[in-house]
Amino acid sequence: MAAILLLLSLLTFTVHVLSDLPATTPRTSFYLSPNTLFSNYDKMLHSFKIFVYEPPSPFTGANVFTTTPESQFYTSLLRSPFVTDDPSQAHLFFIPFPSSLSTRNLARLVRNIRITFPFWNRTLGADHFYLSAAGVDSSSDRNVVELKKNSIQISCFPTSSGLFIPHKDITLPPIHPFQTMPSVNSTPAFLGYMKLSKQSPFSLIEEIKDDPQFKVEYAPGNRRGEFMKNSRFCLFMYGDDMTWMVEAMGAGCVPVVVTDRPIQDLPLMDVMKWSEIAVFVGSSGGAKALRGVLDGIEKSRYDEMMESGVVATQHLVWNTEPQTHDAFHMILYQLWLRRHTIRYARWAEQ
Ligand SMILES: *[C@@H]1O[C@H](CO)[C@@H](O)[C@H](O)[C@H]1NC(C)=O
């Protein structure tokens, strides 16, 4: 009895001492759930299992996917310890098929899975996922409707509008020639640098072209490394080329995305607070409003965004050999967050 009391008082004492320690706040402000992210991630590493269906013939492992982020994800997955041959162990089921597959053949593929395996019927596809660079279009076929509405779709960022369902779907960060560049201490020469892939009708672009504080370039933009480092902000028109956004973050150039609608398909949206890393502005106020927003960002806020951007790039880069917390693993983590689906008892028993 005395021992227990002693133990109890010791415990209270310890708790007291611990709570008196100054709270250390690591720089994790841009994570949505910094307290659970890394423990959840570790759980995923140890337990996540995915069952992969055969691709429809004549496609085989090597030629199912044609875009680089898709094939990078697929090959990394097949080589990973997350794949299981035992569907009873699986949290999620992956249906690989090429983007070129016709809607009719896609419907046939899902129907075959529904008839052959007991798993589809348990959730009507909710614990299944697929890759489709551009997103699967809606269809009147029941099989495609269930795939589109229930299964998790992974597409390439940015997605064409309408084919992405927020909260359910995921986007792959673009692949880009990436290298972390040391930030320069000298004052950047430009307020903003913009690289465009094509001529756009926006008057905003015409206005900033004439402003010496901005540098506007068109593809290929061979000097962008230099301009990125020499500008406080890197400007993107949402819908134009966004592939160098991560590169800009790595170079310490804070992204500014010009968009007139809320963006719902940014990569890692349920892991990171993009508003801590990038600035989002509308186009209607023109260059004046843009300058107003950028000039209004205080130095401390700017430095925080820049540092967060540099740290966040580790989650957005693709490695030939996947590394911890990189793009491949963060996509898997987003799938792991979506693993809890209701399995209908009638089918689960079979
Ligand atoms: C799944 O349900 C459908 C009816 O919706 C049925 O035709 C099919 O045989 C079921 N699949 C399995 C494997 O039992």
pLDDT higher than 90, residue 277: yes
Angle between helices 142-150 and 103-116 (to 10 degrees): 80
pLDDT average, residue stretch 248-267: 94
How confident is the model at residue 188, as a pLDDT? Answer: 86
β-pairing verdict for 254-258 and 279-281: parallel
Q: What is the pLDDT of residues 125-151, one digit of tens each?
A: 999 999 999 999 989 999 999 999 999
Task: State the Cα–Cα distance between residues 326 and 312, nearest whole angstrom.
Answer: 10
pLDDT average, residue stretch 49-70: 88
- pTM score, two decimals? 0.87
pLDDT higher than 60, residue 315: yes
Q: Which of 29-43, 90-104, 182-196, 274-288 has the lowest mean pLDDT?
A: 182-196
Strands annotated E in 83-222: 92-94, 128-131, 152-156, 170-172, 190-196, 214-218
Ligand 1 center from residue 277 Cα (angstroms): 47
**Shortest-distance atom of ligand 1 to CA 116:** 13
Residue type, 267: P
Distances from the Cα of 304 to the Cα of 127, 297, 319, angstroms: 38, 11, 26
pLDDT average, residue stretch 226-255: 92
Query: Which uninterrupted H or E stretch holds 254?
Result: strand 254-258
Ligand 1 center from residue 112 Cα (angstroms): 10
pLDDT average, residue stretch 80-101: 96
Nearest CA to ligand 1 atom 11: 115
- Ligand 1 test: best mutation among 117, 121, 124, most atoms within 8 Å of CB? 121
* 3 state DSSP class of 156: strand
Task: State the Cα–Cα distance between residues 15 and 202, nearest whole angstrom.
Answer: 60
Task: State the Cα–Cα distance between residues 233 and 69, nearest whole angstrom.
Answer: 26
Task: State the Cα–Cα distance between residues 253 and 307, nearest whole angstrom.
Answer: 10
How confident is the model at residue 14, as a pLDDT? Answer: 40
pLDDT average, residue stretch 39-64: 92
pLDDT average, residue stretch 4-27: 44
Q: What is the pLDDT of residues 111-121, one digit of tens each?
A: 999 999 999 99
Domain 190-315, CATH number (from 3.40.50.620, 3.40.50.2000, 3.40.50.150, 3.40.50.970): 3.40.50.2000
Q: How does residue 182 score in pLDDT terms, banded at 50, 70 and 90?
A: low
Backbone CA torsion sign across 23, 29, 35, 38: negative
**Domain-wise residue ranges, the chain:** 42-175+337-348, 190-315
Lining ligand 1 with CB less than 6 A are 114-115, 118, 121
Share of the chain above pLDDT 70, in %: 87
Q: How does residue 334 score in pLDDT terms, banded at 50, 70 and 90?
A: very high
Task: State the Cα–Cα distance between residues 238 and 240, nearest whole angstrom.
Answer: 6
Supply the DSSP string of 299-310, one letter for each residue: HHHHHHHHHHHH
